Amino acid sequence: MSEPTTPVFSVRDLWKVFGPGADRIPGSEHAALPSTELRERTGCTAAVRNVSFDVDKGEVFVVMGLSGSGKSTLVRCLTRLIEPTSGTLAIDGEDVLAMDRTRLRELRRHRAAMVFQHFGLLPHRTVLDNVAYGLEIQGLGKAERRARAAELVEKVGLGGLEDRRPAQLSGGQQQRVGLARALAVDPSVLLFDEPFSALDPLIRREMQDEVVRLHREEGRTMVFITHDLSEALRLGTRIALMRDGEIVQLGTPEEIVGSPADDYVRAFVRDVPREQVLTVATAMRPPSAGEGDHGPALRPEATVSEAIEAVARSGDPVARVMKDGRLVGVVDHACLLDVVAGTGAQAVTV
Amino acid sequence: MATAQAATGPAAGPGTAGPLAALRGRPALGKLLLLLVIAAVAVPVVHARWGGGIWPGALTVDLGGPLGEVNDWIIGNRDSHPLFLHFFGHISNAVVLSVRGVYLALLALGWAGVTAVAALVAWRTAGVRLALTAGLSFLACGLLGMWVPTMQTLALMVVAVLVSVVLGMLLGLAAGLSDRTFRLLRPVLDTMQVLPAFAYLLPVVLIFGIGVPGAVLATVVYAAPPMARLTALGLRGADAGVMEAVASLGATGRQRLLTARLPLARKELLLGLNQTIMMALSMAVIASVIGAGGLGDRVYQALSSVDVGAALAAGIPIVLLAVVLDRTTEAAGRKLGTEPTGPAALRGRRGWGAVAVITAAVAVLGRFTGGRIWPESGVVAIAGPVNTAKDWMVDHLYTGIPVIGGTADWAAHFTNWILNPLRSGLQGLPWWSVLLIVAALAWTIGTWRTALTAVLAMAGIGVLGVWELSMDTLSQVLAAVAVTLVLGFAIAVGAARSTRLERLLRPVLDVFQTMPQFVYLIPVVALFGVGRAPAAAAAVVYALPAVVRITTQGLRGVDPAAMECARSLGATPGQQLRQVQLPLARPALLLAVNQGVVLVLAVVIIGGLVGSGALGYEVVFGLAQGDLATGLVAGAAIVCLGLMLDRVTQPTTRRQRKES
Amino acid sequence: MARTRTRAHLRTTATVASAAALLAVTGCGAADMTKQASPFAAPADIKTVTLSVQSWVGAQANVAVAQKLLEDELGYRVDLVQTDEVPAWDALSQGRVDAILEDWGHPDQEKLYVEDKKTIVPGGDLGVTGHIGWYVPAYWAEEHPDVTEWKNLDKYADELRTPESGDKGQLMDGSPSYVTNDKALVKNLGLDYKVVFAGSEAAQITQIQQFAKEKKPFLSYWYQPQWLFNEVPMVEVELPEYSDACAAKAPEDIDCAYPTTPLQKYLNADFSKRGGEAAAFLKKFHWSEKDQNKVSEMIASERLAPGEAAERWIEENPATWKKWLDR
């Protein structure tokens, strides 16, 4: 699926090691040690180990993992809020690690904006001035930045609250301010660091919808950090699953759920309602003779649960999977049940 | 030397050695055992070499000679040496000019103008009630016939506070932004905060001589540390999440500091300002001893003619100033981050504009109608009635009251039964055992570092050659602290129980705490005679408010869930107090002890003026006779004593505290 | 990395700023702080005299009368500075004070400032004679007439015990700023007494008044002229006779009574030359013990403001003060 255009972020062999003599760890004999042993031997902690990936333009790249897996460190390395220990890192093909202070500041000001778990709002400023803060940093005039900020306040649904202070807002509202502040600078990529984990489930859902909407409407590239699998599956174009600083698996939600790379990932995705993630393209089998003439037609990217519904409604034993008016396969009860039960040996084909 | 061993030994720490492993669960016991072992080895050697009893003469250093020479050199070169002409001279000049500028400005505003400014500023920052208090307070200063001295003190304060704040913020910025500076500066600032004000006077007098410049600089040295300390803490305590967010937006270092770090520390900055103002005020009064003029001078003069009434007339404006300044800055701190209130036309800049306009109008009006200086006819003399009241009290309380005896009898008993045995006990203790006790106390309650500091401070006293005098002062401090704690805890338990009692106590405590220490001295002499007893009494009165307040807050702050739980189990009020409140309020109690000790020491030193003798007398003597050798050595010993007492009563985690 | 660099940058800025500030303060010219006036002094177009007031009431009486006359008759504005005696000499030498009206004898300071540095000049006799000694209350001396002889003091040591003096008799001293040989005297005369310092004259007076109310015996360092004698009559204890030879001994060896001192005035040298009428007036200021006591009493026992007391005396004694104004 990767296209010839330059990826927004291109990360290769990235390491971040904390502790004494951290820069000697990558590439040494200690590099492969498990984290506890590494700490005992060298006193160092490797938060990010040898990570490589690309973030493509327009995608929502989700980095998922439990706390301590290094995902938050990783996202901070992208704009050098945390200085990586080794590796290469490019944004739109430009080497980030080689940037001087001014260039790096330009990067942070215009190209990548971040939304934080604990919002990071300035308590002494009003909502409007918080949203305008990024623009103020850039040196924009007061009237101009306020006008722009007012637009964004409206856009994230906080109209009328411009003069409040952060302390007077609910958590969800505060995060909308955080989002508006990031959007105000019109960055080419948005970085989210577990933005919704401090929020109530209902609000979280609402905010996720907001992100989905933003992505759909503006097609902005996003890197999204989360520890919540369902959030990852809901938002992610691709998901990188991290454990102990390493990426254990990188793929589409369907790949992660459908063919976990190892037991860790398997355990992770065990409780996921697979029929809502996996597509019929995964579940289908080649049609036997005669199966291609009748039964409901489905797109390959339809989810299994949609297929189940279609089959159940039509009363036909099989449903046809059609791509561009051409039959590519069929799904019957057995295929669909295999997905639900997780018993079939799916070979994911994309 | 025992000190060195006792101090470095602990570095190994308990529990590292095999046999001590069993003591891991009881660190205090382990520390004490280790100390015991060290003592068992070192004491016989030390004892054989230098003997017991008071600090051995062989280990002292005589600073009298060199200090005397320094003193003479300064007097000889004060008007010729470039250091004085080109450095101190200009500082002194700048102070004189700025104090004069402020003073003339205040006089130009006139009493109406100044009162208007005070009331309007209080109104802008804290609301109508405080505005009323501020206005009335300034009018009261005029009514008491203290307008000019009040303005002098205010002028001195304005300059001293401004300099303190700028200096404190610069230091705080350095410490807040650099870890190294912070590590270097923090212990110094912490220590400066516990030193008695009196100890600061001599060095400044040495350089600047008697007068306003010296007074202002002593005040700055005394008042800047809290500002520096709180600025540093505030800057360092900035929400890391916010700072990261700001960095992620590409802010430059300057932008990070100005738009985020400093505004985030506003609460601490204002608290720092509040503390600086309060400390500056208390110092400005004490500095009257070195010629600060103003209200302090009036108190000092009144006291020298035993005129309690006149002293009170000058003391009340000090208290009023303190209350107004304290409440205004406190309210400003509280108001931060809340929605502006009041009519829209008076918010923000427009409100301050209104303040300026009204002030100008009132000042002009006042000038045309009443003149600038408070009219002499509008003065209410309170000195007479107050003195009558005081005389009556003394006449009826001094002695011969059936059963309980009079105050003089109490003083005699207190001196004979408590102070004297304690003093002879302390002076009779072998010097090395005092060091050991100090080490044991400081180490059990804190870390080996605090123990080391405490022991070194104590040894410093010995080296200075004022061991015996310091033991005398120490005995007074201990006795007064014991009384303070007993009374303080008793009152606090009552106040924690009854909201009414607390509400009743609060203004009284406020007043007692802001009263200049000087004002207590004469009534206590009248009641308790001359000697150590009145000094102890003054110390108790001065330290009691802080102890009561901290303890009450601590008892009240106990987790209500725990109290509810105890009640649900059917605990009696006594059981609740003993088993829940007191144990849970332990940090507050320790802090109360610490504060009590620090405050008591400050007054016991000033007690040199009423016959408490010992180190306080030496300092007073040094100041009075211009004998800086005596005074400075005693001052240094006081510093050491204060340091030792603070460390011995300081729990490992020092809490941020607000003292005034 | 970026952060440390910003910090370094900030630090540089701070250093430069403080250096600049320092330069602004110190850079140009010399400033002799010994020539600086008080910021609270009256504006320059008014003629100002600054007088030192010592803590005792006699000194307050001198100053009150001088102040009143300077203001009313000569049109000066007078500022008062209260300091102890030795610092007052220092301030006088620096010109922060123009005159001391009552000095009890400070040979060290006199040598340093008058003889060596020549920053202070003598201003002549005040007219009052001062005397320091040991005093007991009259009511007690009447009961035990022999107490006024120092040799008999030991007999009464028991009666004079206080908690502060322990098992010895108490000899009460006052302010640390006063000239005293009492410790040496007690030692050299072999007396069973302990010197207890009241710490300030105020404390000492309060204690004496308290003792007097109770008609208790006491022994105290005290001096004449002093208004308290009118309230609490006291009798001096005879000490071994004063001699110049004895006074010349080292302070710790002194074993004789205090001298009788004609109290002196001192003026700042500059002021003495350029002080015009005020300097001339202060040099001529000369009155008797009786005059001083009258004013002192009004201040101390009647609790009049010093200015008011001075005014009353001025009204009643024009003959005395008119002479001081003669050219």
Cβ contacts (< 8 Å) between B264 and chain A: which residues?
A: 122-124
Cβ count near B565 (within 10 Å)? 12
Sign, Cα dihedral of C86, C87, C92, C98: negative
Q: What percent of chain B has pLDDT over 70?
A: 84
* Helix, strand or coil, per DSSP, at residue B399: coil
Confidence (pLDDT) at C36: 62
Q: Which of C235, C197, C231 is nearest to C212 (CA)?
A: C231
Winning range, highest mean pLDDT, from A88-102, B97-111, B286-300, C140-154: A88-102
Residue B647 CA to residue B650 CA, distance in Å, equals: 5
Inter-CA distances, B570 with B435, B565, B574, B580, B585, Å = 47, 9, 11, 13, 21
Residue B227 CA to residue A259 CA, distance in Å, equals: 62
Evaluate if residue B514 carries a pLDDT over 70.
no
**Residue B656 contacts C, CB cutoff 8 Å:** no
If you measure CA to CA, which chain B residue comes closest to A120?
A: B242
**Cβ contact A124–B255 (<8 Å):** no
If you measure CA to CA, which chain C residue comes closest to A82?
A: C1
Rg of chain C on CA atoms, in Å = 25
State how far Cα C101 lies from the chain centre: 10
Cβ contacts (< 8 Å) between A83 and chain C: which residues?
A: 1
Taking only the tens place, the pLDDT of each residue in A41-75 is 888 888 898 899 999 988 999 999 888 888 899 99
Largest CA distance in chain A: 72
Residue C314 CA to residue B648 CA, distance in Å, equals: 61
Position B24, amino acid: R
Evaluate if residue C4 carries a pLDDT over 60.
no
Taking only the tens place, the pLDDT of each residue in C76-121 is 888 787 777 888 888 888 777 889 988 888 887 888 888 887 888 8
**Residue B531 contacts C, CB cutoff 8 Å:** yes
Tell me which fold the domain C40-129+261-325 belongs to.
Answer: D-Maltodextrin-Binding Protein; domain 2 (3.40.190)
Place of tokens 């010729």: B80
Q: Which of B430, B526, B433, B537 is nearest to B476 (CA)?
A: B537
Cross-chain CB nearest to A137 (options B244, B249, B266):
B249
Taking only the tens place, the pLDDT of each residue in B124-150 is 777 788 888 888 888 888 888 888 888
How far the first Cα of chain B sits from its last, in Å, is 40
Residue A62 CA to residue A226 CA, distance in Å, equals: 7
If you measure CA to CA, which chain A residue comes closest to C1?
A: A83
Q: Interior CA angle at B267 toward B266 and B273, to 5°?
A: 85
Confidence (pLDDT) at A62: 93
**Whether B56 contacts B62, CB under 8 Å:** no
For chain C, give every domain's residue range: 40-129+261-325, 131-260
Residue C184 CA to residue C254 CA, distance in Å, equals: 6
Q: Which of A15, A14, A71 is nearest to A38 (CA)?
A: A15
Half-sphere exposure for A265 (CA within 13 Å, toward CB): 21
Cβ contacts (< 8 Å) between C34 and chain B: which residues?
A: 78-79, 209
**Residue B530 contacts A, CB cutoff 8 Å:** no
Q: Residue B166 — very low, low, confident or very high, per pLDDT cuts 50/70/90?
A: very high
Q: Residue B658 — very low, low, confident or very high, per pLDDT cuts 50/70/90?
A: very low
3.30.1370.100, 1.10.260.40, 3.90.580.10, 3.40.50.300: CATH of A57-82+93-269? 3.40.50.300
For chain A, give every domain's residue range: 57-82+93-269, 274-341
Taking only the tens place, the pLDDT of each residue in A287-300 is 887 777 778 888 88
If you measure CA to CA, which chain A residue comes closest to B254?
A: A137
Class of B81-383 per CATH?
mainly alpha
Tokens of C116: 């060596």
**Residue B411 contacts C, CB cutoff 8 Å:** yes
Cross-chain CB nearest to A113 (options B249, B251, B339):
B249
Neighbours of chain A (3+ CB pairs under 8 A): B, C
If you measure CA to CA, which chain C residue comes closest to B529?
A: C207
Confidence (pLDDT) at A224: 92
Cross-chain CB nearest to A121 (options B242, B251, B255):
B242
How far the first Cα of chain A sits from its last, in Å, is 9
Residue C133 CA to residue C54 CA, distance in Å, equals: 19
Evaluate if residue B440 carries a pLDDT over 90.
no
Evaluate if residue C6 carries a pLDDT over 50.
no
Cross-chain CB nearest to C303 (options B173, B297, B307):
B307
Residue C168 CA to residue C154 CA, distance in Å, equals: 9
Q: Interior CA angle at B601 toward B599 and B603, to 5°?
A: 75
Confidence (pLDDT) at B335: 67
How much is the average pLDDT of A249-259?
88
Evaluate if residue B654 carries a pLDDT over 50.
no
Tell me which fold the domain C131-260 belongs to.
Answer: D-Maltodextrin-Binding Protein; domain 2 (3.40.190)
Residues within 8 A of A (CB atoms), B 217-256 only: 239, 241-242, 244-252, 255
How much is the average pLDDT of B594-605?
85
Q: Which of A115-119, A180-184, B577-581 has the lowest mean pLDDT?
A: B577-581
Cross-strand partners of A55: A9
Confidence (pLDDT) at B494: 84
Residue B331 CA to residue C307 CA, distance in Å, equals: 42
Q: Which of C231, C267, C235 is nearest to C51 (CA)?
A: C267
Pairing of strands C99-103, C169-173: unpaired
Residue A66 CA to residue C142 CA, distance in Å, equals: 98
State how far Cα B118 lies from the chain centre: 26
Taking only the tens place, the pLDDT of each residue in B188-221 is 887 777 677 777 777 787 777 777 888 888 888 8
Exposure letters A47-69 (e unless 16+ CB within 10 A, then b): bbbbbebbbbeebbbbbbbeebb
Mean pLDDT estimate for chain C? 80
Tell me whether the CATH fold assigned to B2-20+408-648 matches the one assigned to B81-383.
yes
Question: Within B446-585, where are the H helices?
Answer: 448-464, 467-497, 499-514, 517-528, 532-556, 560-568, 573-575, 582-584
How much is the average pLDDT of B569-587?
79
**Residue B416 contacts A, CB cutoff 8 Å:** no
* ipTM reported for the complex, 2 dp: 0.81
**Whether A55 contacts A223, CB under 8 Å:** yes
Cβ count near A142 (within 10 Å)? 11
Taking only the tens place, the pLDDT of each residue in B615-628 is 888 888 887 777 77
Taking only the tens place, the pLDDT of each residue in C242-296 is 888 887 888 788 888 888 888 889 998 888 888 788 888 888 888 888 888 888 8
How much is the average pLDDT of B102-122?
82
Confidence (pLDDT) at B618: 84
**Whether B312 contacts B192, CB under 8 Å:** no
Evaluate if residue C192 carries a pLDDT over 50.
yes
Confidence (pLDDT) at A255: 87
- The C-alpha of B266 sits at a distance from chain A's nearest C-alpha, in angstroms, of 9
How much is the average pLDDT of B142-165?
86
Residue B2 CA to residue B6 CA, distance in Å, equals: 6
Evaluate if residue A347 carries a pLDDT over 50.
no
**Whether A25 contacts A31, CB under 8 Å:** yes
**Cβ contact B525–C202 (<8 Å):** yes
Inter-CA distances, B262 with A212, A264, B174, C134, Å = 37, 46, 13, 64
Residue A116 CA to residue A157 CA, distance in Å, equals: 19
| Domain spanning B2-20+408-648: CATH superfamily | MetI-like (1.10.3720.10)
Does domain A274-341 sit in CATH 3.90.1280.20?
yes
Residue B648 CA to residue B641 CA, distance in Å, equals: 10
Cross-chain CB nearest to C206 (options B94, B306, B624):
B306
* Helix, strand or coil, per DSSP, at residue C83: coil
**Residue B421 contacts C, CB cutoff 8 Å:** no
Half-sphere exposure for C326 (CA within 13 Å, toward CB): 9
**Cβ contact C40–B293 (<8 Å):** yes
**Residue C12 contacts B, CB cutoff 8 Å:** no
Confidence (pLDDT) at B12: 39
Cβ contacts (< 8 Å) between A104 and chain C: which residues?
A: 2
**Cβ contact B249–A134 (<8 Å):** yes
Position C104, amino acid: W
Cross-chain CB nearest to A137 (options B239, B251, B266):
B251
Cross-chain CB nearest to B532 (options C36, C82, C164):
C164
* Helix, strand or coil, per DSSP, at residue C31: coil
Residue A181 CA to residue A155 CA, distance in Å, equals: 11
- The C-alpha of C286 sits at a distance from chain B's nearest C-alpha, in angstroms, of 24
Cβ contacts (< 8 Å) between A168 and chain B: which residues?
A: 339
Place of tokens 């609460």: B267
Pairing of strands A86-91, A94-95: antiparallel
For chain B, give every domain's residue range: 2-20+408-648, 81-383
Confidence (pLDDT) at C3: 45
How would DSSP label each residue in A154-223?
HHTT-TT-TT--GGGS-HHHHHHHHHHHHHHT--SEEEEESTTTTS-HHHHHHHHHHHHHHHHHH--EEE
